[in-house]
């Protein structure tokens, strides 16, 4: 392990707004990487990443989300979903730099859960999440006013998916709610209905609906969709009062692409195929699938699957390709559920040049692309996260 040079903290300027063409600069969070971003064609990228990581030694801990590209995953000290990664980082207090190869809300969660001395870095600040960006703090505050005017705010419990900004997690903590992941959404909803009579589920309508209908036995009519772009969410006071689940109108642009036709098509193409999808998929896709579960569930299921079994997987393509390659020698046939390519484009912004730039900058004592959550937001977001950890 080498000794790092003194830190030169360089704020990253707001400049590059590729994702939404500056339509909503606050949520787009695009920036350009200052300094020398290596060219993707540089043949020495792998060697440079390895050398910079070695120079940093135990001071750096690289987290790789399941949906990340192989070229980046090879440098991850640990892989997993966003919550597992944040907890893994917190369990490594000696690591001063947590390089999060994921998206913005994941890095925020890591900053909330890690110690004050640990600095969380996102190799490309334009790696946002379209779903998280579908619920802004202002929109959610306005929604709460609508619920208050409808006379139901005191009986509504917010439940927010991990895939949300720190602001939304803090809103959830302030109003006595909980965070959930795709693994514990059922337990989170059961807990919430023990606290109140209605749930405001943010920001993924599909996970909320699928969990309510599939796991808790509610009907689709028990759910209404709150559209933040319409006055009053596009709902009448009566509709708001009658609903058990008030679902925020958000979705994952990756999982939202799978359709009932994808399921019918793969069943016709591959006789005997098992269809296994993520609960961020639409309700009709989940209803037509054989099994439904989080990324960790998908991995465990494929690990336990017998040789000769056939699977069509409805989740992000990088993960499916990796699983297909991993299990092919065991005689398990794994295919992607859709015929079209379905990468998480924002997650894929973290590529090898950005990782090399980040690691070399840190090794040179230059802190770049740090993600921080202000103390007030962190306090309330932590409340909601701790409530999730305390779920029965
Ligand atoms: S896969 Fe979907 S929810 Fe996950 S980071 Fe990408 S856009 Fe966001």
- Show the tokens assigned to 270: 């591959």
| pLDDT at residue 20 tops 80 | no
Q: What is the number of the ligand 1 atom nearest to the C-alpha of 105? A: 5
pLDDT surpasses 50 at 5 = no
Q: How many Å apart are CA 81 and CA 240, to the nearest integer?
A: 33
Which tokens is 240 given? 């708001």
Strand partners, 345: none
Q: Where does residue 182 fall: left (phi above 0), alpha (psi -120 to 50 degrees), or beta otherwise?
A: alpha
What pLDDT band is residue 26 in, cutting at 50, 70 and 90?
Answer: very low
**pLDDT for res 82:** 86
278 is in an annotated binding site: yes
Over 70: is that where the pLDDT of 8 sits? no
83-123 pLDDT, tens digit each: 889 889 889 999 999 999 999 999 999 999 999 999 999 99
Summarised one tens digit per residue, pLDDT across range 316-356 is 999 999 999 999 999 999 999 998 877 888 899 999 999 99
Instruction: Check the annotation: does 219 bind a ligand.
Output: no
**Tokens linked to 191:** 């807990």
Residue 288: C-alpha distances to residues 132, 227, 265 (Å): 26, 26, 12
CA of 345 to the centre of ligand 1 (A): 9
What is the rounded CA–CA span in Å between residue 203 and residue 213? Answer: 17
Q: Which pLDDT does position 3 carry in this prediction?
A: 39
Q: Is the pLDDT of residue 11 over 50?
A: no
Residue nearest to atom 2 of ligand 1 (CA): 252
- Position 229 pLDDT exceeds 80: yes
Atom of ligand 1 nearest to the CA of 163: 3
72 close to 350: Cβ distance less than 8 angstroms: yes
Q: Does residue 162 have a known ligand-binding role? A: yes
Gap between the Cα atoms of 141 and 274, Å rounded: 42
**C-alpha distance from residue 206 to each of 164, 185, 287, 312, 347 (Å):** 14, 12, 12, 20, 20
C-alpha 119 to ligand 1 mean position (Å): 23
Atom from ligand 1 closest to the CA of residue 130: 7
When pLDDT is cut at 50, 70 and 90, the band that residue 224 belongs to is very high
The pLDDT assigned to 18 comes to 36
Q: Is the pLDDT of residue 189 over 80?
A: yes
| pLDDT tens-place string over residues 246-257 | 999 999 999 999
Q: Does domain 255-336 have CATH number 3.40.50.10800?
A: yes
Average pLDDT over residues 150-158: 98
Superfamily of domain 25-130+346-374: NadA-like (3.40.50.10800)
Report, as an integer, the average pLDDT of 151-178: 97
pLDDT of 360 strictly over 80 = yes
pLDDT at residue 32 in the model = 53
Asked if 25-130+346-374 and 255-336 have one fold, the answer is: yes
Task: Report the mean per-residue pLDDT for the chain.
Answer: 90
Task: Determine the residue of 122, 124, 129 to mutate for testing ligand 1's pocket, defined as the one with the most ligand atoms within 8 A of the Cβ atom.
Answer: 129
Nearest C-alpha to atom 8 of ligand 1 is from which residue? 129
Question: 155 CA distance to ligand 1 centroid (A)?
Answer: 30
163 assigned to a ligand binding site: yes
Q: State the CB neighbour count (10 A cutoff) for residue 236.
A: 12
Confirm or deny that 129 is annotated as ligand binding. Answer: yes
List ligand 1's pocket residues with C-beta within 6 A: 67, 103, 129-131, 163, 252-254, 316, 344, 346-347
Rounded to the nearest whole angstrom, what is the distance from the C-alpha of residue 343 to the centroid of ligand 1?
A: 9
Return the domain boundaries, the chain: 25-130+346-374, 132-252, 255-336
Query: What is the CA(353)–ligand 1 centre distance, in A?
Result: 22
pLDDT band at 33 (very low <50, low <70, confident <90, very high): low
Point out the ligand 1 atom lying closest to the alpha carbon of residue 252. 2
Q: What is the pLDDT of residue 37?
A: 85
The model's confidence at residue 14, banded by pLDDT at 50, 70 and 90, is very low
pLDDT category at 34 given cuts 50, 70, 90 is low
Per-residue pLDDT at 35 exceeds 70: no
Distance 317 CA to ligand 1 centre (A): 12
User: Is 227 annotated in some ligand binding site?
Assistant: no
CATH topology of domain 132-252: Rossmann fold (3.40.50)
Whether 4 has a pLDDT exceeding 50, the answer reads no
């Amino acid at each position: 392990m080498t000794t790092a040079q003194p830190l030169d903290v360089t704020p990253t300027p707001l400049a590059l707004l590729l994702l939404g063409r500056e339509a909503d600069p606050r949520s787009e969070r695009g920036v350009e990487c200052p300094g020398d971003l290596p060219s993707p064609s540089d043949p020495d990228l792998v060697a440079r990443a390895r050398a910079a990581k070695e120079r940093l030694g135990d001071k750096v801990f690289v987290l790789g989300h399941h949906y990340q590209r192989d070229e980046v995953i090879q440098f991850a000290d640990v892989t997993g979903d966003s919550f597992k990664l944040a907890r893994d980082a917190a369990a490594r207090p000696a690591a001063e730099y947590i390089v999060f190869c994921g998206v913005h809300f994941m890095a925020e969660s890591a900053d909330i859960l890690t110690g004050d001395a640990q600095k969380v870095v996102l190799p490309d600040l334009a790696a946002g999440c379209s779903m998280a960006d579908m619920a802004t703090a202002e929109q959610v505050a306005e929604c709460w006013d609508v619920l208050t005017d409808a006379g139901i705010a005191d009986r509504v419990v917010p439940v927010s998916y991990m895939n949300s900004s720190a602001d939304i997690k803090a809103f959830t903590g302030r109003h006595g709610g909980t965070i959930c992941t795709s693994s514990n959404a059922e337990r989170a909803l059961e807990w919430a209905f023990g606290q109140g009579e209605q749930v405001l589920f943010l920001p993924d309508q599909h996970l909320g609906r699928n969990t309510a209908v599939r796991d808790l036995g509610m009907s689709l009519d028990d759910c209404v969709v709150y559209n933040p772009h319409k006055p009053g969410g596009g709902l009448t006071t009566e509709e708001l009062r009658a609903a058990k689940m008030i679902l925020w109108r958000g979705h994952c642009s990756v999982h939202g692409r799978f359709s009932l036709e994808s399921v019918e098509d793969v069943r016709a193409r591959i006789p005997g195929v098992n269809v296994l999808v993520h609960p961020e998929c639409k309700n009709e896709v989940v209803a037509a699938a054989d099994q439904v579960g989080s990324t960790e569930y998908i991995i465990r299921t494929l690990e336990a699957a017998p040789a000769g079994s056939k699977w069509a997987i409805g989740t992000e393509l990088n993960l499916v390709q990796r699983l297909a390659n991993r299990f092919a020698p065991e005689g398990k046939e794994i295919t992607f559920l859709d015929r079209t390519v379905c990468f998480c484009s924002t997650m894929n912004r973290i590529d090898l040049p950005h990782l090399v730039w980040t690691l070399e900058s840190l090794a040179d004592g230059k802190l770049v692309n740090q993600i921080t959550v202000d103390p007030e937001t962190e306090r309330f977001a932590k409340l909601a996260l701790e409530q999730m950890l305390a779920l029965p």
